[in-house]
Structure 1
Amino acid sequence: MATTVPETIRSSATAGERLLFSTLKDYLPDDFIVYYEPEIQGKRPDFVIIGPDLGLVVLEVKDYLKNSILTVNNDEWTIFSTAQEQATVKSPLLQARQYMFHIMNRLQKDSNLINLEGKYRSQLKFPCGHGVVFTRMQQKDFVENQLYNVMEPNMMFARDEIDPEREAFSEANLMEKLLNMFTVPYRLREPLSYDDINAIRYHLFPEVRISAEFKPIAPHQDRILLSLHDIKTMDLHQENLAKQLGDKNRLIRGVAGSGKTLILASRAKMLSRQHPDWKILILCYNVSLAQNIRQMMEHMFEEQADLFDFVDENKEKNNVEVFNFHAWLYNKLRIKPQDIPSIVEKLKNKEAILPQYDAILIDEGQDFEAEWFTLVSNLLNPETKSLLLVEDRAQEIYKRKRSYVQDTGLDFRGRSKVLSINYRNTAQIVKFAWDFYQKNSALKNKVVEKDFQGEIIAPKSTRRKGPDPAIIQASSFKHEIRQVSKIIHRLHKEKQVPYDEMLILYRVKNSKSTNYIQTIQNKLADEGIPYYWLTQNRDSKNNFQKNDGKLKISTIESSKGLDFQAVFIVNVDNMPFALEDDVEREVSLLYIAMTRAQNYLSISYSGESEFTQYFEKVKEERLLGEEPKQSRFSK
């Protein structure tokens, strides 16, 4: 079964389009992607199919009856329109061909997608084809209407070739026909790689872009070519979700690392493109996450609408505001948290005027108070009702009591999506973190099951592998930080992990006997490791820049929503924190901390606590079990 974007076809699509959509989805291979009416730089072909051993094919769909076609030639056709009036239209094959060239012209400007030598020098390294699907005509009708005079048989599908209910239909014929929809017969010597397909998606659909590294622009045969590497895009599930959230109120519940924030930011960008006159607001709880989203949005809007337009005249207008909730209260509404109930009452009685937003997107919804939702929903344009909530209750560290229906006045039943796949962490980190959560959380019995809508979503990992998380026990905090700094050096020199892709997380700054922050700072300074104390004060949070070449030091709370290649959670013997009565909150905090790590995770301690006892047992089980196939990075 192929992947379709969107996952389902719109209800207003023609019967023929719905049939073709269903057939392509059900009968093409699993690694094929079928786009229905994608917008590609102002053009909207009916279908674009991308396959590793196919290349790219554009299909134009026509619901013509055999009696509605009067005359045909290579350029124009005379038909009876649906209003039974005679009309002259562009040849559907010419239309499909022009869409194909529109796509090719974009892709041929990327040096990674063309042949730089050989017989097909300067041409795309994969074939691009085009064809027409006549959903209400049989093959015999093509003869009667003399369509074979203007179109090759391999360039068009008839109804009986796309309808599984017809005797003439076969899966093999469907595939064979697609493989021959090329003006010049061409077969791929090697299938398109995952990176090749990602590059095609990156160029054709700006909304899926996350990041890419630009190589120097290179001239080639009188052309300027763009060259990218390390391209990162949303995966197809995330792309589908961002594009198909629909209007009105929506709820996304996802595990840590499932791309919730990315989908939220992409959704905001799409709304901005579709409605440049809208006033759009993104809210979250965490100051550093707000700064991270702000930078993400700024990057999205700074990027040229057309990567190949080297004279940048196409920057889009940024009509998206990003705030953490309390900064929004103080800076935009000029009120304090304790004023919210009275302000809400005044708004209901139309005794107060506050800014209104056409769309509001809320990250970290699990950390919002009920009255915050009430305030926000009162400032939402009642005509649009465009409210997106994103949450993960496994990361809930502030025990909020809420009912979304009651708090917002909006019903989310049938308007929610669950994201269970963790893309951020390696399989080893996902298992390590989830094992800890299940063993120590009182909410483990509230996990979502197949037929039970629970509160906590169990994460599923991708196939990405990595080293086992390190568990380090030291005789003192100084020795602990010494070992951590050695690993930091090793990762930086041997694994080329940038310092700004490393994060040290702590639970408390100091105790009666030890100034933990000072010890960390002194050791990093001695080792010549540049660092930035993200949670030193409010200014340091507001001025946070991830890509500044410096290792980050942060509380666990302020790391929510962030991710780094390597994460070091130190002083775990201070967890559960002695002054914290709610052990459940401490479990969630440590789970949050562990799931910040993309590839490398280190847990270290120099004392004893309920949590360190758990990790000691894990170490014992590792020693008793088989030696891991991939050695831990702490060795």
Structure 2
Amino acid sequence: MAYTVPETIRSSATAGERLLFTTLKNFLPDDYIVYYEPEIHGRHPDFVIIGPDLGLVVLEVKDYTQNTIFQVNTDTWTIVNGKGQQAAVKSPIKQARDYMFHITNALQKDKNLIQTEGPYRFKLKFPSGYGAVFTRLKQDFFVREGLYSVCDPNLVLTRDEIDPDKEEFSEENLIEKIMGMFVVPFRLKEPLTKEEIDAIRYHLFPEVRISAEFKPPVPYQDQLLLSLHEIKTMDLHQENLARQIGDKNRLIRGVAGSGKTLILSARAKYLSKQHPEWKILVLCYNISLAQEIRHMIRMKMNEPDSLFDFDPNNAANDGDLKNIQVYNFHAWLKQEMKISEKQIPIFVQKLASGEAILPKYDAILIDEGQDFEPEWLSLASSVLNPDTQMLLLVEDRVQNIYSRKRSYVQDTGLSFQGRSKILSINYRNTAQIVKFAWDFYRNHSALKNKVVKGSIEGEEIISPQSTRRRGPEPAILKGKNLKEEMGFAIKLMKRLHAEKGVPYSEMLILYRVKRTYNQNIIETIQKELKAAGIPNFWLTENADSKRGYEKNQEKVVISTIDSSKGLDFQAVFIVNAENMPFALEANKEREVSLLYIGMTRSKDYLFISYSGESEFTNYFDKIKDNRLKLKEKLGSV
């Protein structure tokens, strides 16, 4: 079964389009991608198929009947509409060909996707083809009317070739026909790699772009070509969610590192592009996360379709968010609503009774929804345009550190039954970090009996699935004091920076409390970093430092675990771990979630250190002992 984008076809699609969509989905290979009506640099072909052994094929779909077609030639067809009126239209074959050239012109600018030597130099390294599908006409009609004289039979699919209910239908013939839709046919010697398919998607669909190592266009044998490396895109499930979240209220529940914020940002851009007249609000709890979301949306909003016009160094700073506002909740209260948190219940009543009138938001997107109080959600839903009801909630119950209890129906007045999606794959962390963090959570959380796999709506916790990306096991070190812990951390930082090329801006130090009765933790962290000559930025020093944070500064970031939610770094150092669970925190479940959050901020390298004893450090001691025993056992073999 092929992967379709979107997952389901729109209800207004023609009967022929629905038939073809279902047939392609059911009968093409599992590693094929079928796009229905994608927008590609301002054009909207009906279907685009990408396959590792196929290349790329564009299909134009026509629901013409025998009475529709009046006269044809290779370029123009004269058709008769339902009122008996004649109209000249471009040949369906030529329409598909033009779409194909539009796509290949975009892809041929990437040096990594073209042939750089031989007779086909500067042409794509994979075949690109096109064809037309006539969903209401059979092959015998084409033969009888001589249509194959102006339509190459290799470039045409008819009803009997796409309808599984027809006796003439053959799965093998369908695939062979699509494999042959090339003017200059050639089969790939080696199938396209995942990286090459991601590069195709990266160029054609700006909304799926995450990042790439971008080098300015350079002349190559008289051609100006792009050079992109380390391309990262949304996976197909994430792309489908971003494109087809659906209208009205929706809920996305995802594990840490599953791309929830990325999808929310892509959704904000999509809504802004589709409805430039709308007023769109994005809310979250943390100040630092609001900054990250604002940065992410601005990057997406200012990125042009053509990468030749894109300057990655300026994209994050130039331009505005157009009709999108991004706030942490309390800043929104202060700046837009002009009220304090204590005034929310009274204000909601006034809005309901018409005593207070405010401009409505046409869409509201809430990240880290598990952090929102019920009355906060009630306020947000009360300023939502009742005609659109476009409320998107994104959450992860494992990261619920504020013990919010809620009923979404009661809090928002909207039901999410049957309107939720699950993101269970963790893309951020290596498999080792995912397992390490999840094992910790399962061993300490009181909610472990609520863990499920699959799409369940309610209070259940979603079990994360890791990708195949692997890395080193998280490091656990016990020191004599915090100074020695920092010595361990600094040694590893310098090593990662020098040997692995990890920028200091991709390193994060997390602490639970700023100071205790016997030591100033933040002062020790900063003092040791300064002595080692490592530049640093204290993200959680105050509200201004949170608002002024920019990740591209070449400085190690220091933060509380609370304020790191939604952020990620290549290397994370959790120090002074013996202060968890914190003695003054009555809710142990919050402490479990906090440490889980801290661990899952790390994309590649995780370091945990402590110089005291707690329930959590006793758990880490056992892991260290087990690792040592395993090492000794393997050494004796």
For Structure 1 versus Structure 2, the TM-score category normalised by the shorter chain is over 0.9
Offset of 1:449 from its aligned partner? 4.5
Counterpart Cα distance in 2 of 1:586 and 1:120: 61
- What per-residue deviation string (whole Å, max 9, x for no partner) do you get for residues 558-588 of structure 1? 0000001111111111100011111111000
Counterpart Cα distance in 2 of 1:28 and 1:616: 52
- Cα pair distance change 1:597/1:409, threshold 3 Å: same
Match of 2:370 in 1: 366
Q: Is the 8 A contact 1:40 1:205 kept in 2?
A: yes
Q: Is the 8 A contact 2:110 2:226 kept in 1?
A: yes
Q: TM-score, normalised by structure 2?
A: 0.95
1:410 and 2:410 matched: no
For residue 623 of structure 1, what is the amino acid of its counterpart? Answer: L
Between 485-494 and 449-458, report the one with greater CA deviation. 449-458
Q: Is the 8 A contact 1:333 1:355 kept in 2?
A: no
Offset of 1:372 from its aligned partner? 0.6
Counterpart Cα distance in 1 of 2:269 and 2:394: 16
Offset of 1:535 from its aligned partner? 0.5
Counterpart Cα distance in 2 of 1:446 and 1:613: 25
Offset of 1:309 from its aligned partner? 4.3
Q: Is the 8 A contact 1:66 1:145 kept in 2?
A: no
1:343 and 2:341 matched: no
Q: Is the 8 A contact 1:106 1:308 kept in 2?
A: no
1:400 counterpart (400, 404, 410)? 404
Between 41-50 and 226-235, report the one with greater CA deviation. 226-235
Between 163-172 and 48-57, report the one with greater CA deviation. 163-172
Q: Is the 8 A contact 2:422 2:454 kept in 1?
A: no
Q: Is the 8 A contact 2:422 2:455 kept in 1?
A: no
1:571 and 2:576 matched: yes
Counterpart Cα distance in 2 of 1:85 and 1:348: 54
- What per-residue deviation string (whole Å, max 9, x for no partner) do you get for residues 63-103 of structure 1? 22234322211011122324443332211101101111111
Match of 2:619 in 1: 614
For residue 198 of structure 1, what is the amino acid of its counterpart? Answer: D
Give 3-state SS (helix, strand or coil) of 1:338's partner.
Answer: helix
For residue 587 of structure 1, what is the amino acid of its counterpart? Answer: V
Give 3-state SS (helix, strand or coil) of 1:504's partner.
Answer: strand
Counterparts in 2 of 1:31-42, with a 5 A limit? 31-42=31-42
Give 3-state SS (helix, strand or coil) of 1:227's partner.
Answer: strand
Match of 1:602 in 2: 607
Q: Is the 8 A contact 1:571 1:605 kept in 2?
A: yes
Q: Is the 8 A contact 1:62 1:133 kept in 2?
A: yes
Counterpart Cα distance in 1 of 2:498 and 2:376: 47
Q: Is the 8 A contact 1:69 1:145 kept in 2?
A: no
Counterparts in 2 of 1:100-499, with a 5 A limit? 100-220=100-220, 222-309=222-309, 318-449=322-453, 453=457, 454-499=459-504
For residue 399 of structure 2, what is the amino acid of its counterpart? Answer: Q
- Cα pair distance change 1:509/1:416, threshold 3 Å: same
Q: Is the 8 A contact 2:4 2:25 kept in 1?
A: yes
Give 3-state SS (helix, strand or coil) of 2:452's partner.
Answer: coil
Counterpart Cα distance in 2 of 1:626 and 1:417: 42
Offset of 1:485 from its aligned partner? 0.9
Counterpart Cα distance in 2 of 1:451 and 1:93: 43
Counterpart Cα distance in 1 of 2:505 and 2:558: 10
Match of 1:524 in 2: 529
- Cα pair distance change 1:490/1:297, threshold 3 Å: same
- Cα pair distance change 1:24/1:598, threshold 3 Å: same
Give 3-state SS (helix, strand or coil) of 1:604's partner.
Answer: strand
Give 3-state SS (helix, strand or coil) of 2:516's partner.
Answer: coil
Q: Is the 8 A contact 1:254 1:392 kept in 2?
A: yes
Q: Is the 8 A contact 2:303 2:310 kept in 1?
A: no
What percentage of residue pairs aligned between the two structures are identical? 67
Match of 1:632 in 2: none
Offset of 1:249 from its aligned partner? 0.8
Figure out how many residues of one structure are paired with residues of the other and give that number: 629
Counterpart Cα distance in 2 of 1:451 and 1:412: 13
Q: Is the 8 A contact 1:356 1:379 kept in 2?
A: yes
Offset of 1:352 from its aligned partner? 1.5
Q: TM-score, normalised by structure 1?
A: 0.96
Give 3-state SS (helix, strand or coil) of 2:40's partner.
Answer: coil
Q: Is the 8 A contact 2:198 2:231 kept in 1?
A: yes
For residue 422 of structure 1, what is the amino acid of its counterpart? Answer: N
Match of 1:633 in 2: none
Q: Is the 8 A contact 2:298 2:320 kept in 1?
A: no
Give 3-state SS (helix, strand or coil) of 2:29's partner.
Answer: coil
Counterpart Cα distance in 1 of 2:250 and 2:296: 22
Q: Is the 8 A contact 2:6 2:35 kept in 1?
A: yes
- Cα pair distance change 1:484/1:24, threshold 3 Å: same
Give 3-state SS (helix, strand or coil) of 1:390's partner.
Answer: strand
Counterpart Cα distance in 1 of 2:299 and 2:138: 51
Between 514-523 and 540-549, report the one with greater CA deviation. 514-523
Counterpart Cα distance in 2 of 1:616 and 1:330: 46
Point out where structure 1 has 5 or more consecutive residues left out of the alignment.
630-635
- Cα pair distance change 1:86/1:302, threshold 3 Å: closer
Offset of 1:626 from its aligned partner? 6.5
- Cα pair distance change 1:502/1:310, threshold 3 Å: closer
After superposition, the CA RMSD in angstroms is 2.0
Point out where structure 2 has 5 or more consecutive residues left out of the alignment.
none
Counterpart Cα distance in 1 of 2:470 and 2:230: 18
Offset of 1:623 from its aligned partner? 2.9
- What per-residue deviation string (whole Å, max 9, x for no partner) do you get for residues 333-367 of structure 1? 11110011111111112111234211110001101
- Cα pair distance change 1:328/1:627, threshold 3 Å: farther
Counterpart Cα distance in 2 of 1:224 and 1:568: 43
Offset of 1:435 from its aligned partner? 0.7
Counterpart Cα distance in 1 of 2:321 and 2:600: 34
Counterpart Cα distance in 2 of 1:573 and 1:317: 43
- What per-residue deviation string (whole Å, max 9, x for no partner) do you get for residues 469-527 of structure 1? 11111122111111111111111111111111110100011122221111111111122
Counterpart Cα distance in 1 of 2:455 and 2:331: 40
Match of 1:562 in 2: 567
- Cα pair distance change 1:628/1:159, threshold 3 Å: farther
1:542 counterpart (506, 527, 547)? 547
1:512 and 2:511 matched: no
Counterpart Cα distance in 2 of 1:427 and 1:456: 19
Q: Is the 8 A contact 2:217 2:308 kept in 1?
A: no
Q: Is the 8 A contact 1:302 1:315 kept in 2?
A: yes
Offset of 1:451 from its aligned partner? 8.4
Between 438-447 and 184-193, report the one with greater CA deviation. 184-193
Q: Is the 8 A contact 1:303 1:315 kept in 2?
A: no
Counterpart Cα distance in 2 of 1:193 and 1:353: 55
For residue 110 of structure 1, what is the amino acid of its counterpart? Answer: D
- Cα pair distance change 1:184/1:315, threshold 3 Å: farther
Counterpart Cα distance in 2 of 1:478 and 1:538: 27
Q: Is the 8 A contact 2:285 2:329 kept in 1?
A: yes
Counterpart Cα distance in 2 of 1:231 and 1:443: 38
- Cα pair distance change 1:83/1:462, threshold 3 Å: farther
Counterpart Cα distance in 2 of 1:627 and 1:432: 21
For residue 365 of structure 2, what is the amino acid of its counterpart? Answer: L
Offset of 1:452 from its aligned partner? 5.7
Counterpart Cα distance in 1 of 2:456 and 2:213: 43
For residue 338 of structure 2, what is the amino acid of its counterpart? Answer: R
Counterpart Cα distance in 1 of 2:146 and 2:131: 17
Give 3-state SS (helix, strand or coil) of 1:258's partner.
Answer: coil
